[in-house]
Amino acid sequence: MVIASDRALGRWENEGGGLARELRDQFPGVRDWHYLDTAATAQKPQAVIDACTRAMGEDYATVHRGVYARSANMTLAYEAARRRVAAFIGGKEDEIVFVRGATEAINLVAQCVSKINRDSPYFNKGHRILLSQLEHHSNIVPWQLAGYAIDVCPLTADGRIDLDAAEAMLSEDHVLVAFAHVSNVLGSVLDAKRAAALAHKVGAKLLLDGCQAVPRLPVNVADLDCDFYVFSGHKLYGPTGIGALWGRQELLDAMPPYQGGGSMIDRVTFAKTTYAPAPTRFEAGTPAIVEVMGLHAAIDYVDAIGLDAIHAHETELVRQTRDALRAINSITLYGPDDAAGIVSFSMEGVHPHDIGTILDEEGPNGSGVAIRAGHHCAQPLMEHLGVPATARASFGIYNDESDVAALVRGLERVKRIFG
């Protein structure tokens, strides 16, 4: 897989992200386009596209079923991808469950924990969960559907989860704490190790929504001391329809299956079915074979560049953007100055949808600046901020200073139109 030369990768590290223009050529979807919506979904490098094409073409076969050579080879590749995901986040192979994305992963944990044997030594007997005001709907609705009693942790003035408040709120009635590692709206980064310590102090487990963290920050679940970690592949420069749930082995072993069907069984009779051990018991049906191959390629791609370098690059773009937008007196910025890759804002007297529409018209053929405008699947956070919606610019490894400049030019045009 060709990513970039060692010389080029070294220049990225030495110049703090000056390679973005060169890397952009490896992303067919962003050439001549100021794409600032990576927090919604990342564009795909050619290496990932090629990996998916091979997996769907000359390499394609089912996994875990065929005795013929190509099926055996694809099974080996599929399980190698599981090991790659585990290594990427510091877990173990048997602790990785492949899912369609973080949404399914959280639903899986919510449903399975709610149905465990309440004599399990691994979980509190209570049925309460602590969430925060900045959570994505995917980290709210699944817990409601599973019948948990939800407590809501407030935010600090600069948009971080208030862990002092969390400490005061937590009790032995809480079975779980579920927080975003990085906010998808504010870009604020959770002190995950402290969150884990607070949860464990009362016997609760910590689930981290890592969708916005894994493309931007080095993640090691052992060091974070969390109990579950979830993320989606499509935000990590991989395909849609694939993601991962990491869970401690003893916790996965204590949880009953989420869905029934092929692959997740040990023995089936009409009288009784017994189930395979984790993680297989949570992977019913024919899996997303092609997407898993794409996820493996995406992780290889990101690792070759280096998450420390990516984080430094995006941090500089966030700094430039916040400084530039702060100079426009009609703009209100949300979240902390050290946000990870994300800048949310509003403009006085202009709906974010109008901002997004006008920005998109800036370039040739309407392909100008692409941002997200709306509630970002975080309506409780919008209520907390006192706005119906925000505009959001989010960065990836293919962005550079020219994208920031195009955003600022577009916002100045918006201001003139509505001024």
Q: How many CB atoms lie within 10 A of CB 419?
A: 9
Task: Name the CATH code of domain 51-303 (choices 3.40.190.10, 3.40.1000.10, 3.40.50.2300, 3.40.640.10).
Answer: 3.40.640.10
Task: Name the CATH code of domain 6-44+306-418 (choices 2.60.40.10, 3.40.50.300, 3.90.1150.10, 3.40.309.10).
Answer: 3.90.1150.10
Distance CA 232, CA 290 (A): 15
Instruction: State whether residue 110 is helix, strand or coil.
Output: helix
Q: Which of 112, 153, 226, 377 is catalytic?
A: 377
**Beta bridge mates, 346:** 332
Q: Which stretches does DSSP call E strand in 270-384?
A: 273-275, 331-334, 342-347, 369-370, 372-374
pLDDT at 16 over 80: no
**Helices (H), ranges, 306-342:** 307-326
Q: Quick: pLDDT tens for 154-190.
A: 999 999 999 999 999 999 999 999 999 999 999 999 9
CA 308 vs CA 191, 274, 304, 314, 322: distances in Å: 18, 44, 11, 10, 21
Active site residue 377: yes
For residue 289, give the H/E element and its range. helix 289-305
Q: Quick: pLDDT tens for 52-96.
A: 999 999 999 999 988 999 999 999 999 999 999 999 999 999 999
Poorest-pLDDT segment among 49-58, 176-185, 365-374, 401-410: 365-374
**Beta bridge mates, 364:** none
Phi, psi of 139 (to 5 degrees): -110, 25
Distance CA 27, CA 41 (A): 13
Q: Quick: pLDDT tens for 250-277.
A: 999 999 999 999 999 999 999 999 999 9
HSE-CB for 198 with a 13 A CA cutoff: 23
The pTM of this model reads: 0.94
On the question of a common fold for 6-44+306-418 and 51-303, the answer reads: no
pLDDT at 12 over 90: no
**Where in the chain are the domains?**
6-44+306-418, 51-303
- CA angle 114/279/116 to nearest 5° reads 20
Instruction: Single out the residue of 383, 377, 386 nearest to residue 136, CA to CA.
Output: 377
- What's the mean per-residue pLDDT of the chain? 93
Distance CA 162, CA 175 (A): 19
Instruction: Single out the residue of 141, 142, 143 nearest to residue 127, CA to CA.
Output: 143
